Amino acid sequence: MELRLYDTLSREKRAFVPLDPNNVRMYVCGPTVYDFAHIGNARPVIVFDVLFRLLRHLYGEAHVKYVRNITDVDDKINDRAARDFPGLPLNEAIRKVTEQTGKQFHADVDALGALRPSVEPRATDHIGEMREIIERLVKGGFAYAAEDHVLFSPQAMNAANDGLPRYGALSNRSLDEMVAGARVDVAPYKKGNTDFVLWKPSKPGEPSWPSPAGIKAEGRPGWHIECSAMAWKHLGEHFDIHGGGIDLVFPHHENEVAQSCCAFHRERMANTWMHNGFLQVEGEKMSKSLGNFITIRELLNTLPGDVIRLQMLMTHYRQPIDWTERSTYLASSELEEWAESLHSYFRFPNDNPPTAVADALSDDLNTPAAIAVLRELHVAAKKGGTKEKLIFASNLKLLGFKKLDKPGLFRFGVSGLNVADVAIGKYEPAIRRLRAAIANDAPDSARDEILSSILKDGLSVQEGNSGDLTLIRGSEEDASKKIQKLVDDRLSARLAKNFKESDRIRDELAAMGVVLKDGKDDDGKPMTTWEVAR
């Protein structure tokens, strides 16, 4: 099926035709590493990870290059560094902050099932490319130096009329509209109200580099020039796809187009511009003032990454998404059902092509349609045999799910064994956190910390092959022996037709958290098996 993607610039869904099918290139704006990323940041990570997977499926893993940058020079980083490491020189403190928060970001997105990009450049490693682009813009008459700043002139771009795009075309705004509603910086050295900063002087103690355009004072880059430089370095002057959140269309992506097209005399920077919609929480805009600001890490403390991933994919990427507890519950329940069907098959060697989900995604990354396809494949897997289950598994893997061999990781509540005298409900938060830690491959230290609150009460936790977690009084072996003895006693009572004693033992086992299943063995003799109640 032909891949069609919606292009923000042309405002239409178009067939995707790569510039070079042997070298498909995509750039996505990444994080500014000054703190834990919030769940709004998780949306482009997951959306463009799915697109990356689809492109690799269509063109081959070796023929797709995905670049997602890290911004490590920013006022917020400077402020955090000065706050957290007041005794260090600012540059050293900044390095500590960006290394720490960069690791946090990687741990979070790994838990969400996102593949690492092909290249993950840092802004501070590309100052030379930024300076070269700025020099080209000044030489071409699109930028000018003033009071140790270098500024880009949208008016000069639109006046050039030599095959360049119109400034404002991506965001569908005119220069007059930008000025009228403008959040533009007013400064006496600016020639035009819409001129924006390419380079600025550094304050004392801030990171600084030799300035371009003949400026003697050292300075630092503006925000927009960073992505133009990194995209150029790793993907070239013209590439296939540029992505990011809808909030980046103006001014960030508009300014990227202006810088790159004017520097390299190109009609386009990227052939296709893709933008994911906003995220809100329980119907309201996410903000710290409303108390509904949620980081990815906070969610991962109580949820498997697969749940967050499915919850994100339930809404088409271009639509706004409302993050609710109900949708979390629905995603968890559905994943539990899928994993129940697959826990013996999900990790089997599997060469079945994920054609059904790939076809759904080929219509502008239509993940709701892909999920509908998965539901149909789930029905077929439950009714069918190994072949149907493996087809279901391969299609799930294309969407990036990774823990569907463990249905117990997606359950709610808490189960107990030999704990009839314990109010096990109070341990539910700890068990929920432990499930998430196991699902997200958290370090042993994190799991041990969670377990410590349970162990101090003389209880332990058993992890079953299917990911189920069970509270146990005493050792697992002792509890199993005690239960098996009661099961055997009950079977003897039943055979002796002592149903009163049989019922009493059944009730005792039920209080211990045991479910019995009566049946017959291969010789037709009565037998009883047991399992922990769920």
**Whether 44 contacts 248, CB under 8 Å:** no
The Cα angle at residue 325 between residues 319 and 331, in degrees rounded to 5: 70
Domain assignment present for 16? no
pLDDT at 187 over 90: no
**385 lies in the same domain as 421:** no
Classify 79 as helix, strand or coil. Answer: helix
Distance CA 154, CA 193 (A): 10
Query: What pLDDT is attached to residue 77?
Result: 93
Measured torsion, CA atoms of residues 168, 171, 173, 178, in degrees rounded to the nearest 10: -80
Average pLDDT score over the chain: 92
Tell me if 198 sits within 8 A of 222, measured CB to CB: yes
Q: Are residues 136 and 236 in the same domain?
A: yes
Summarised one tens digit per residue, pLDDT across range 74-112 is 999 999 999 999 999 888 999 999 999 999 999 999 999
In a domain, 304, yes or no: no
Residue-level pLDDT at 484? 74
pLDDT at 526: 82
- The pLDDT, as a whole number, for residue 530 is 78
Q: 404 and 420: one domain?
A: no
Whether 259 contacts 137, CB under 8 Å = yes
What's the pLDDT at 185? 63
For the chain, the first-to-last Cα distance in angstroms comes to 43
In this prediction, residue 435 carries a pLDDT of: 97
Calculate ∠ Cα 308-314-315, nearest 5°. Answer: 110
Same domain, 142 and 273: yes
**Helices 367-383 & 386-398 angle (0-180, nearest 10):** 160
Do residues 379 and 465 share a domain? no
Cβ atoms of 209 and 127 closer than 8 Å: yes
Considering only CA atoms, which of 413, 424, 443, 400 is closest in space to residue 300?
Answer: 443
Q: Degrees (nearest 5) of the Cα angle 312, 7, 38?
A: 30
pLDDT on residue 181: 46
pLDDT in tens, 446-483: 999 999 989 888 888 988 889 999 888 866 666 677 77
- Does 202 have pLDDT greater than 60? yes
pLDDT above 80: residue 485: no
Summarised one tens digit per residue, pLDDT across range 421-444 is: 678 889 999 999 999 999 999 999
Tokens linked to 135? 């020099």
Residue 251 lies in a domain: yes
Same domain, 426 and 502: yes
Q: Are 128 and 222 within one domain?
A: yes
* Residues 159 and 97 occupy one common structural domain: yes
Predicted local distance difference test score (pLDDT) of residue 496: 81
pTM: 0.90
Instruction: State the Cα–Cα distance between residues 248 and 427, nearest whole angstrom.
Output: 43
As a whole-number percent, the residues of the chain with pLDDT over 70 amount to 96
Residue 508 confidence (pLDDT) = 66
pLDDT at residue number 474: 66
The CATH number linked to 164 is 3.40.50.620
Let me know whether 238 and 381 are in one domain. no
pLDDT above 80 for 507: no
Do 234 and 365 lie in one domain? The reply is no
Taking the C-alpha atoms of residue 286 and residue 245, their distance in angstroms, rounded to an integer, is 15
Closest to 335 (Cα-Cα) out of 431, 402, 280: 402
Q: Which percentage of the chain shows pLDDT scores above 90?
A: 75
List the structure tokens of 17.
């035709």
Q: What's the pLDDT at 60?
A: 98
For residue 480, CA distances in Å to 215, 485, 508, 521 come to: 78, 8, 14, 21
Q: Which residues contact 415 (CB under 8 A, 6 or more apart)?
A: 424, 468, 469, 470, 471, 513, 532, 533, 534
Q: Which two tokens stand for residue 123?
A: 């802004």
Say if residue 225 is in the same domain as residue 363: no
Q: What is the pLDDT of residues 222-278, one digit of tens each?
A: 999 999 999 999 999 999 999 999 999 999 999 999 999 999 999 999 999 999 999
Is 302 within the bounds of a domain?
Answer: no
pLDDT tops 90 at residue 204: no
Identity of the residue numbered 176? D
Lowest-pLDDT range, 352-356, 444-448, 512-516?
512-516
Confidence of residue 184 (pLDDT cuts 50, 70, 90): low
> What is the domain-level CATH number for residue 404?
1.20.120
Answer whether residue 312 is part of any domain.
no
Question: Could you give the angle at the alpha carbon of 69 between the alpha carbons of 249 and 272, nearest 5°?
Answer: 45
216 and 364 inside one domain: no
What's the confidence (pLDDT) of residue 476?
62
Residue 139 — φ and ψ, nearest 5°? -65, -35
Q: Tell how far CA 442 is from the center of its chain.
A: 16
Domain of 201 in residue numbering reads as 22-279
**How many whole angstroms separate alpha carbon 433 and alpha carbon 272?**
41
DSSP string, 134-159: HHHHHHTTSEEEETTEEEE-HHHHHH
